[in-house]
Structure 1
Amino acid sequence: MCRYGLTMEPPSPTPLPPQLVDGIRARLDAQDVVGVQIGWVDDNGIVRSRVVPTDQLAGAAHRGVGITAVFAVFDSHDGITFAHEGLSTPSGDVRLVPVIDSVDSVVPLAGQPGLAWVNGRQVAVDGSPWPYDQRAVLERQVSAAAEAGFEVKAGFEVEVVLSHDREDGEVAGAHRGPAYSANAVQDLSGFTRTLLTDLRANGVGIGQLHAEYGASQVEIALDALDPLAACDAQVLARQSIHAAARAHGLRASLAPITTTDGAGNGWHLHTSLWRDGHNALTASEGDGGPHGLSAVGAAYLAGLHRELHGIVAVTAPSTGSLLRRRPHFWAGVYDVWGVENREAALRLVPGGGLLGADHTNVELKPSDASANPYLALATVIGAGLAGVRDGASLDEPVQEDVGGWDDARRSAAGIRALATTHEEQRANLLASDVVREVLGDDLLGAFVACRDADAAWAVEHTDEEIVASLRWVY
């Protein structure tokens, strides 16, 4: 196996055990479920799905459902690019297979009565691995972490703008603020009750919900879980948010930016490494490092910092992401890390105190809904593990908002802005050997082709048109 675990192969589909099939069928029948959505997330962060009748689910779990191979080269506007050599024609089929390992894998949707949800993987028609399957990329990194002696925990903070549903597609704020206020929550009382009820019924755990800084914005902090469960929960949370909004005559947008002058939405990604039941980022007695970090913790954070420009090309990849990247909006515009610095691209959240020593984690700010969560988290894990493997050295933290510094001061400190153009971001992506090894050449090629197609579309449109085109996609 190579150092990033790229030879790890997912299992081929096999028939579900009869007892498991009976358990799923009984659960779905008890809730009058007639169809199951098999969902996956494409390279633009868009959730796609196919629906099968409940009596066809067992067959789908064994044989999969046919989908076109060119889903790997759909762009954000549902255009198909054939610029990637590996998928340069409309020919080809793959199988979408529901990931079912327990009765709870298939979730009756509280906000969509009659339908259930299950996450899917994409495999070749003979059941062998398909190099463009995003879920498999994360599975490889989980395996690589295990081989290095670690488990990973991850959690997403999901920001969403809520709007009254308007025929013109513009944003009409569903709460009047102020930011973080109880008044704003009162404006959304019905939606909030429905969402919390649905999330609980759908098995999605959250730590809190609050009105955020942006106009009519809300943030939901999802529980920290193992990587695959965290991404699965994030996808299911998004479906729950949209359904709860519709139930109250609202529209929800998780797009990176919903108006050209707004704060924009992130889904801040928190990660930590664990070993023998303890947080390996936290310094123990005799392993003291800077800012309460262990040697492993310092190297993990250093690995993220070292690869930050390449990471962000995956975690905030879209034309909307580039427009969102502005100073003073807590979007992580510069390649700095800081201790509890919310303007830093990488924010160290130390453990200790009321939180407990095992709470230590690293938050990545420049991450949003136009990223595929499985690829985003895989890239973060791969970069962090590379830092640990190399014993990467951690720079000093930056505790200020460097957006207020002049260019000369930032240059003297060796601080660079993250990309704000497609050309810069593309170059950063292709320059990262770590990101290339995590994604693999095939998927990287398709991913770049999608970004190129989006950029070509954007050249012919204004910023306002770009924002409007993505507003209700997410």
Structure 2
Amino acid sequence: MGNESIATDGGLSVEAQNVLDAIEENNVDFLRIQFTDILGTVKNVSVPASQAEKAFTEGIYFDGSSIEGFVRIQESDMRLMPDPSTFAILPWRSREDGTASARLIADVHEAADGGPFAGDPRQVLKRALKKAGDMGYTLNAGPEPEFFLFEEEDGRATTKTHDAGGYFDLAPKDLASDVRRDIIYGLDQMGFEVEASHHEVAEGQHEINFKYGDGLTMADNIATFRAVVRAIAAEHDVHGTFMPKPISGINGSGMHTHLSLFTEDGENVFHDEDDEFSLSTEAKQFLAGVLEHAPAITAVCNPTVNSYKRLVPGYEAPVYVAWSDVNRSALIRKPAARTPAASRIELRSPDPSCNPYLALAVMLQAGLDGIERGLEAPDPVRENIYEFDEAKREEYGIDTLPPHLGAAIDALEEDELVMDALGEHVASKFIEAKRAEYDDYRAAVSGWEIDRYLETF
């Protein structure tokens, strides 16, 4: 998937011409050209819809030095090349006069030579997908991003939950059911196939599951999903957040990610009906690769200081580098599969604050490394690892994920495969930003410390 579709005689691809037609049919007057910085923040440039054809043929120029982790001031000129397959009407931007706004996701290109920009997270994922394609595989991914809805006061977010519901609760405890309904309507209008939604374990916490798909589409969808949740929550005067652990003492928000590889003929490479776990040799090698590179992957998939407040024992978040088919205390779970096409593995550590393009790229590259090197997966752990003491974990050979962001960045720097997956530009800028974040955190004095020590010493 991308913007390399067949051109018409007029120089536009068929897909791009279809977008121009849709703009006219839907009375779109403004386009948001969207891209993502290295830290995963969605950025956009708004242009009149009359500039759509120019956007497809020439791109939209912007100052790359203003974007986190892109380029220095003397290298600032960059351009956005919209991917026509990502066109979608923004349902919350329709106006009474019948006009509407739409969104296009763009690839970032160098202005000088027109080539793809190495620091564009979407390009990082495309490189990983090309590697998979060269090996005869396509990636299917199914992310499950969780989020909280909080009350607002004087226009600012609080940590007062919008409801007192629990896991799978119904109204009236789940007061946010109307918000979820409108989010689902919005996602549906933007082309998502929503499969289920429910209240999660913690008060104010929710999950909306949408159908799995190819890797690039899913990364685009995660970025879009976060924007839709925030925008529609704001219409209900509540704040939607994907912060991993906004409240201590309760479950945090994860983004469990289901992964599988398919052949060009649509066969699931991960399925083997003769295996005890219905997993093929390639699936187990892929799984072994993800386990081997798990510490470095954690820096990318759990990229904030707050991420590690979620990754602690006791709150259903995985911290132990192991896999299982029967329990959720392991890092990787083999879910039950009703059909061969559904055979997959579930990586349970990522959280929804991650950059989805970088996260899927490093997961995929780690798994492919396992296949290329023929790594052997360890035996599954069918006991509750949370109940193991340190001696038993050592007996089973179970390591733990990095305990904080600083340790995760150390692991990233030591992992040549994951560093190469990110590319020199992205890896160096990402590490620079995250080192600074962790240093700021270490120097900050928290309310917990004030409460604990101020009157004691």
For normalisation by structure 1, the TM-score amounts to 0.86
How many angstroms does 1:238 deviate by? 1.7
CA deviation profile, 1:302-329 (whole Å, cap 9, x unmatched) = 1111111111111112111122211122
Show the counterpart of 1:403.
386
Aligned counterpart for 1:138 among listed residues 125, 128, 147: 125
Show the counterpart of 1:35.
30
Show the counterpart of 2:141.
154
SS at match of 1:182: coil
Show the counterpart of 1:279.
268
Aligned counterpart for 1:421 among listed residues 404, 407, 432: 404
Show the counterpart of 1:447.
430
- 1:61–1:97 Cα contact (<8 Å) kept: no
Query: For the residues of structure 1 that align with 2:270 and 2:15, how far apart are their CA atoms?
Result: 38
Structure 1 position 56 matched with structure 2 position 42: no
Structure 1 position 222 matched with structure 2 position 210: yes
**1:211/1:455 CA distance change after superposition, 3 Å:** same
- 1:347–1:364 Cα contact (<8 Å) kept: yes
How many angstroms does 1:95 deviate by? 2.5
Choose 131-140 or 407-416, whichever is displaced more: 407-416
- 1:69–1:91 Cα contact (<8 Å) kept: no
Structure 1 position 242 matched with structure 2 position 230: yes
Query: For the residues of structure 1 that align with 2:143 and 2:371, how far apart are their CA atoms?
Result: 23
Show the counterpart of 1:181.
169
SS at match of 2:370: helix
Show the counterpart of 1:110.
91
SS at match of 1:183: coil
**1:463/1:304 CA distance change after superposition, 3 Å:** farther
Show the counterpart of 2:60.
65
Q: Which amino acid aligns with 2:145?
A: V
Choose 179-188 or 222-231, whichever is displaced more: 179-188
- 1:292–1:350 Cα contact (<8 Å) kept: no
Show the counterpart of 1:4.
none
- 1:39–1:47 Cα contact (<8 Å) kept: yes
Query: For the residues of structure 2 that align with 1:322 and 1:460, how far apart are their CA atoms?
Result: 17
CA deviation profile, 1:45-99 (whole Å, cap 9, x unmatched) = 221211111111222233333333345645xxxxxxxxxxx95x43322424243
Query: For the residues of structure 2 that align with 1:48 and 1:185, how far apart are their CA atoms?
Result: 36
Show the counterpart of 1:5.
none
Show the counterpart of 2:350.
367
Query: For the residues of structure 2 that align with 1:201 and 1:159, how far apart are their CA atoms?
Result: 21
How many angstroms does 1:462 deviate by? 4.2
Aligned counterpart for 1:320 among listed residues 281, 287, 306: 306
- 2:146–2:255 Cα contact (<8 Å) kept: yes
Query: For the residues of structure 2 that align with 1:344 and 1:184, how far apart are their CA atoms?
Result: 34
Q: Which amino acid aligns with 2:205?
A: Q
- 2:303–2:354 Cα contact (<8 Å) kept: yes
- 2:150–2:240 Cα contact (<8 Å) kept: yes
Aligned counterpart for 1:192 among listed residues 174, 180, 199: 180
CA deviation profile, 1:318-358 (whole Å, cap 9, x unmatched) = 1111222111222211112111422221111242xxx2122
**1:333/1:462 CA distance change after superposition, 3 Å:** farther
CA deviation profile, 1:250-284 (whole Å, cap 9, x unmatched) = 11001112123332211111110112322111114
Query: For the residues of structure 1 that align with 2:368 and 2:172, how far apart are their CA atoms?
Result: 41
Aligned counterpart for 2:254 among listed residues 266, 279, 284: 266
Choose 167-176 or 365-374, whichever is displaced more: 167-176
Structure 2: gaps (5+ residues): 95-99, 449-457
Show the counterpart of 2:289.
303
How many angstroms does 1:18 deviate by? 7.6
Q: Which structure is richer in relative contact order (CA contacts within 8 A, separation 6 or more)?
A: 1
CA deviation profile, 1:173-221 (whole Å, cap 9, x unmatched) = 1121122211367512321221121111110112110000122100011
Query: For the residues of structure 2 that align with 1:18 and 1:345, how far apart are their CA atoms?
Result: 43
**1:281/1:165 CA distance change after superposition, 3 Å:** same
**Alignment RMSD (CA, Å):** 2.5
Q: Which amino acid aligns with 1:219?
A: E
Query: For the residues of structure 1 that align with 2:386 and 2:159, how far apart are their CA atoms?
Result: 28
Show the counterpart of 1:170.
158
How many angstroms does 1:378 deviate by? 0.9
Query: For the residues of structure 1 that align with 2:272 and 2:445, how far apart are their CA atoms?
Result: 49
Q: What number of residue pairs does the alignment pair up?
A: 437
SS at match of 2:78: strand
Q: Which amino acid aligns with 1:236?
A: T
How many angstroms does 1:403 deviate by? 2.6
Query: For the residues of structure 2 that align with 1:356 and 1:464, how far apart are their CA atoms?
Result: 51
Query: For the residues of structure 2 that align with 1:252 and 1:27, how far apart are their CA atoms?
Result: 30
- 1:299–1:392 Cα contact (<8 Å) kept: yes
SS at match of 1:169: strand
Choose 237-246 or 397-406, whichever is displaced more: 397-406
Aligned counterpart for 1:293 among listed residues 279, 289, 292: 279
Q: Which amino acid aligns with 1:200?
A: D
CA deviation profile, 1:395-421 (whole Å, cap 9, x unmatched) = 011223323322222223222221122
Show the counterpart of 2:454.
none
- 1:67–1:96 Cα contact (<8 Å) kept: yes
**1:441/1:22 CA distance change after superposition, 3 Å:** closer
How many angstroms does 1:19 deviate by? 6.2
**1:333/1:191 CA distance change after superposition, 3 Å:** same
Show the counterpart of 1:80.
none
For normalisation by structure 2, the TM-score amounts to 0.89
Q: Which amino acid aligns with 2:259?
A: T
Q: Which amino acid aligns with 2:118?
A: P
Q: Which amino acid aligns with 1:317?
A: P
Q: Which amino acid aligns with 1:140?
A: R
Q: Which amino acid aligns with 1:165?
A: E
Structure 1: gaps (5+ residues): 1-8, 75-85, 466-474
